[in-house]
Structure 1
Amino acid sequence: MNILSRSFREFKVASWAFFHTQGFWKYFLIAFSLYGLGILSLIRADVYYIDDLNRAIIGYKEWENFSRYISWFLSTFMHMDSVLSDVSPLTQLVAIAFLSFASLILVWSMREVIWKNEDSNWESSELPYKKRLTTLGIIASIPLGLSPYFLEELSFKYDSPYMALSVLFSVIPFVFIHHIRAYIPVSILCSLGMCMTYQASSGIEVILVLFFAFLMFNQTNAGVKKAFTFIGVSALNYIIALSIFKFFIMHENSHSQASTAMLKGSDLLSGFLRNMDMYLNYLWSDFGLAGVKICVLALLGFFIISAMYQARINKILSLILAVAVLSIGICLSYGTYLVLEQPLTRPRAFIGIGLFVAALSVYVVSAWRGWAYKQKDQSRTNSTRYVSRPLPQRAFYILSAVIVGFCSWSMVVFANSYGNALSQQNEYQKFRLTVLLNDLVNATPRYADADNYLYRIKGWVTASPALENASKHYPIMKRLVTITDTKYWVRTAMKHYGWGEVPEEQLKTTPETEDFNALKEDPRCDPKTAGKRLKLIDNIYHRIEVYPHCALIEFKGKERYIHEYDQEIREEQEALEQEALEKEAQAQADLEQAAQKPESKK
């Protein structure tokens, strides 16, 4: 009982200190405004992103299938109904409110660690000024929620609040970083909260623990013992939380994009390295040599310089540790997905890297203490005399602010570019779908309806000219703007426009009449066995072959800018498919040859 009371007392002390920080709500509004500016074009685009269309026309939740129970529960209060309806942009505004709190926590905790028990980092005569929140710090934290990867989370009209909440859960424990009795239970509970909102945030706590331990050792008087104790306690908290989740809460699930199954013992190392290689390949090839990549690379270099500049330990050792933190942090930002058999590779799975960039940005500007300072011997007087800082210090601070400012600005610019590209692609898809439905109305037999007629779909709408242009130096743009699940989404969109009945609830399995793989083998949709072709429509947008019981739809168009890593994967898959076809043909030929031998003997 005594332990509980002490834990609660420390919880209150740390919470009070955080919420009573000077200018707390002012900086919250600054963060909220910056995030709002970033998603302005996204809100204006008003696009049903991937699952949003199904949720809009059916109203289902279906977050429990990946054990996201908090998301499932909170959605009832978010929409004030168990059947979900579209309440955007309210959901996205709630999401950026969560992100704003997360930004404040990141800045506050970073400066709390750096300045706790500070003694000789600065001039010995300087009067300490330990303001925890600053406008520059908030600007530096913007990559946390406006990284190109997290934009996919913010694109979801239904999922976005809970995805943002998972980020908030991941940073809350660091408010209590100097209050171990409160830190332990809060860390375990928040890790569980993250797991039950969106597991893609699983790398955030890991990289922040690594980062804060580095700060403790590099430039505070905490020392090696406290740094490693902090890592050990945090690791134990994390393992306890994930073990509780895995063995008592989570249920296994998988679909075409991802699976919850972990790598087996014999494949653990090779699978871990394979997943890491895939992750790093995407991180590098998602961006051309343009604003975001240039700014982040400059930030990485400046972090190393800043770490050495502010270090209280040997400069060479500080350099080695800074490089190690960058290397390990970037790799581990993928979180627990590194140990999954089939990890999600969509941009929304790469949440951790945005937080890591934000942490680096906040760090390099956290040494900012103003142009001048008061001396301690003036602290008891009303003197207004200040001592100017040396020119090298001022130049260093200006450069840090410029680099961080450009980094955050590049995120805001990219976010608005993405929102506009998404809007243009959505309009283009609607146009293509309208043309398709118009041709289908005039081409299919009068007796054709959703119950007795099949539609086999091949391909999908290619990128609009606006999206192609936006993808020249940002290959990730196409990964983000791929807002549909192609053939399955087409059927949903057709129902949305009245071409078939909308189900009362989300179907657990895809009906065979809409299953692309099943339709490939259905004799009614095979030109060789489908019967007489009734009509052919072949134009610049699509090709439609109409048969008595099935229509074959093939979308036309070519992509100019294809993601480098996706192209490699596509070529590998095509090679495997070709190899399988050749083996199948060879096996068929062998069977025919074997059948002919007995006949020749007769």
Structure 2
Amino acid sequence: MISFYNKELSSFNAFLLSLVVITLGYYPLINDRIYFVDDITRSIKGYFGWIGLGRPLTEWLAMVLSTSSVRLADITPLPQLLSMLALSSLVMILLKNTFKDVTVGNVLICSTIAVNPLIFGNMLFRFDSLSMVLSVLLPVMAWDLLNKNKMVFPCLLLIACLSFYQPAIAIFPLLIMTTFLQSDKYSDKTINYIFKATSLTFIGCIIYYLAVVKLTIKESEHRADLTSDFGHAILSGLKNSLVTASQSYGHIACVIISIATIIFAVIYAKTFFKMLNDEFNRKKYISILLMIAVPFVIILCTVGVNLILSNGYYPVRVLFPVSFIIFMMLAVPANSTNKINIIASILSTGLIFASLSVIYATTSALYNQQRYDSYVLFSLIDKLSTMNKGKETYIFGTTEDAEASKTSARVFPILKHIKNNYYDMTLSQSLINNGVRDIVFSGETRKVSYTLQKKACNRHMDKIFSTPQYSIFEDENHLLISLGKNNCSK
């Protein structure tokens, strides 16, 4: 086993190995062609809509891929296939900047970045998976160029990263900390390196905020509103992100990550106490301060860009920087001794295998949910077409979880956070797409749906049809489709 992990590879074979691992990891997305969240409405209406979210490069990339600036076409699985190539390139950049030797074990350590449940949360999106993966790749490229003493291009890449998908900016400081922990910490070169990286991060964020956020995000769109309570944002964000990330990886993977964290903590503590016992000088003081800062940087990057937002939230798709923290826990000890390198390689193998299980099980559950929801959709189409009431029809709630999804969720808690159940927006568009008339939905009309649901619960609407999957209520002017059951107790 040791000889297997120590086997040296050419750069080309290392790229092929990473590509095989990545393709194996995301094959279900190519095979099952799942529609996920906004994918349903985007595939029906063909809208773009990313510029208003501060992601102009995502919109322009979608235009290039679909060869249209008017309508967005569904060209799945091309974005996912290109994403796999981008992830393999990312693995190679990590490999060459982190390890001296190109070995099987080191490739697997770097591949933990590419194949994990958090990146999977981005790969699920049919239309913008590539832009999300490019947002991950660009800070890695910026780090690579900074390591080659470049300054202008890394700054431009960080601005581009933010313009693809903002949470990815947290990756850059994590990689800087990884390099710092592997460096000669007392040298002027290392201290200047940290200063340059910090400056680049702040300059890139400021330029992005002034040139993109201020010009593209509407005042009515509150995603860019800044918080006034950083203390509460850090605590609640850290708690929510850690819970979501740990549930995403699953039980076995969390055990592996815990072992890697313990090894990293021991290496970190040994380095820190050795530093304290060395002769004091100005460089040593700075290095000690930087070592103390490392845990805080990790915490802040776990919370990510949501730290400064008033409405920060922590679904799986924004937590992928956590995978770079796990990479740091593996890579830093792996560079200390060959024995620990083998241990890190074995842990990486187990982590990738556990991630494959999570990805495959989650994909199967989402596929089963899609089939279940299709039954609900066509049952509603049949019922509404026979009613022919001509009344405005509103939708409330979400579909129940399919039994197969419930079973998988007991083993893989990630399914608490990744769902493709029909809800008011996606079901309304799907009904309209299948020829059902008088369906009403918008952000504003949600208020009407809530009001009608309250009337139905108070028995001020007549229940005219009911199944275990949904109920239909009626008053003199409206129809209400109440998805699921027990909506009155929620």
Q: Tell me the TM-score range normalised by the shorter chain.
A: 0.7 to 0.9
Whole-angstrom distance in 1 between the partners of 2:260 and 2:461: 64
Which one of 471, 474, 499 corresponds to residue 436 of structure 2? 499
> Residue 448 of structure 2 corresponds to which residue in structure 1?
518
Whole-angstrom distance in 2 between the partners of 1:298 and 1:320: 26
Between 535-544 and 294-303, the greater mean CA deviation after superposition: 535-544
> Residue 265 of structure 2 corresponds to which residue in structure 1?
304
Whole-angstrom distance in 2 between the partners of 1:531 and 1:269: 46
Secondary structure at 1:544's aligned position in 2? strand
Whole-angstrom distance in 2 between the partners of 1:102 and 1:57: 33
For 1:555, give the aligned amino acid.
L
User: CA 1:434 to 1:485, structure 2 compared with 1: closer, same or farther past 3 Å?
Assistant: closer
> Residue 195 of structure 1 corresponds to which residue in structure 2?
162
> Residue 382 of structure 2 corresponds to which residue in structure 1?
438
Secondary structure at 1:360's aligned position in 2? helix
Deviation for aligned residue 1:46:
0.8
For 1:226, give the aligned amino acid.
K
Say if 2:314 is the partner of 1:345. Answer: yes
Which one of 118, 133, 156 corresponds to residue 149 of structure 1? 118
- Cα pair 2:384 2:436 within 8 Å, conserved: no
User: CA 1:466 to 1:552, structure 2 compared with 1: closer, same or farther past 3 Å?
Assistant: same
- Cα pair 2:122 2:132 within 8 Å, conserved: yes
> Residue 138 of structure 2 corresponds to which residue in structure 1?
169
Whole-angstrom distance in 2 between the partners of 1:502 and 1:90: 33
Which one of 9, 18, 23 corresponds to residue 31 of structure 1? 18
Say if 2:73 is the partner of 1:85. Answer: yes
Q: TM-score, normalised by structure 2?
A: 0.85
Which one of 210, 235, 252 corresponds to residue 291 of structure 1? 252
- Cα pair 1:202 1:334 within 8 Å, conserved: no
Whole-angstrom distance in 2 between the partners of 1:516 and 1:107: 49
Which one of 164, 182, 201 corresponds to residue 215 of structure 1? 182
- Cα pair 2:112 2:323 within 8 Å, conserved: yes
Cα deviation code 1:90-142 (max 9, x no counterpart): 1101111111111111121112xxxxxxxxxxxxxxxxxx43x3222221122
Whole-angstrom distance in 2 between the partners of 1:23 and 1:427: 45
User: CA 1:241 to 1:292, structure 2 compared with 1: closer, same or farther past 3 Å?
Assistant: same
User: CA 1:22 to 1:158, structure 2 compared with 1: closer, same or farther past 3 Å?
Assistant: same
Secondary structure at 1:85's aligned position in 2? coil
Secondary structure at 2:114's aligned position in 1? helix
> Residue 469 of structure 2 corresponds to which residue in structure 1?
541
Whole-angstrom distance in 2 between the partners of 1:194 and 1:175: 14
Q: Which structure features the higher share of helix residues?
A: 2
Which one of 239, 245, 249 corresponds to residue 212 of structure 2? 249
For 1:423, give the aligned amino acid.
Y
Whole-angstrom distance in 2 between the partners of 1:415 and 1:531: 45
4+ runs deviating over 6 angstroms? 315-324, 528-532
For 1:433, give the aligned amino acid.
L
For 1:355, give the aligned amino acid.
F
Deviation for aligned residue 1:459:
2.0
- Cα pair 1:334 1:352 within 8 Å, conserved: no
- Cα pair 1:65 1:253 within 8 Å, conserved: yes
Cα deviation code 1:145-200 (max 9, x no counterpart): 322122121011110010000001110122234432x1x21221111011110001
Whole-angstrom distance in 2 between the partners of 1:472 and 1:57: 33
User: CA 1:520 to 1:412, structure 2 compared with 1: closer, same or farther past 3 Å?
Assistant: closer
Whole-angstrom distance in 1 between the partners of 2:140 and 2:161: 10
Q: TM-score, normalised by structure 1?
A: 0.70
Secondary structure at 1:145's aligned position in 2? coil
Deviation for aligned residue 1:363:
3.5
Secondary structure at 2:479's aligned position in 1? strand
Whole-angstrom distance in 1 between the partners of 2:248 and 2:121: 14
Whole-angstrom distance in 2 between the partners of 1:485 and 1:430: 9
Deviation for aligned residue 1:367:
5.2
Secondary structure at 1:333's aligned position in 2? helix
User: CA 1:330 to 1:97, structure 2 compared with 1: closer, same or farther past 3 Å?
Assistant: farther
Deviation for aligned residue 1:531:
9.1
Whole-angstrom distance in 1 between the partners of 2:85 and 2:344: 27
> Residue 456 of structure 1 corresponds to which residue in structure 2?
394
- Cα pair 2:87 2:114 within 8 Å, conserved: yes
Unaligned runs of at least 5 residues, structure 2? 1-7, 278-286
Whole-angstrom distance in 2 between the partners of 1:202 and 1:81: 29
> Residue 402 of structure 1 corresponds to which residue in structure 2?
346
> Residue 578 of structure 1 corresponds to which residue in structure 2?
none
Unaligned runs of at least 5 residues, structure 1? 1-20, 112-129, 370-392, 504-508, 560-570, 575-602
Whole-angstrom distance in 2 between the partners of 1:323 and 1:476: 33
User: CA 1:282 to 1:344, structure 2 compared with 1: closer, same or farther past 3 Å?
Assistant: same
> Residue 76 of structure 1 corresponds to which residue in structure 2?
63
Whole-angstrom distance in 2 between the partners of 1:59 and 1:501: 21
Secondary structure at 1:472's aligned position in 2? helix
- Cα pair 1:457 1:487 within 8 Å, conserved: yes
Say if 2:98 is the partner of 1:98. Answer: no
For 1:536, give the aligned amino acid.
I
Cα deviation code 1:50-97 (max 9, x no counterpart): 111222122221110112111111222212222221111111011111
For 2:195, give the aligned amino acid.
G
Whole-angstrom distance in 2 between the partners of 1:346 and 1:528: 31
Identity of aligned residues (%): 17
Whole-angstrom distance in 1 between the partners of 2:198 and 2:446: 44
1:60-75 equivalence runs, <5 A: 60-75=47-62
- Cα pair 1:279 1:334 within 8 Å, conserved: yes
User: CA 1:465 to 1:511, structure 2 compared with 1: closer, same or farther past 3 Å?
Assistant: closer
Question: CA-atom RMSD, angstroms?
Answer: 3.4
> Residue 275 of structure 1 corresponds to which residue in structure 2?
237
Whole-angstrom distance in 2 between the partners of 1:26 and 1:397: 20
Which structure would you say has the larger Rg?
Answer: 1
User: CA 1:102 to 1:94, structure 2 compared with 1: closer, same or farther past 3 Å?
Assistant: same
- Cα pair 1:105 1:174 within 8 Å, conserved: no
Whole-angstrom distance in 2 between the partners of 1:412 and 1:520: 40
Deviation for aligned residue 1:413:
1.9
For 1:209, give the aligned amino acid.
I
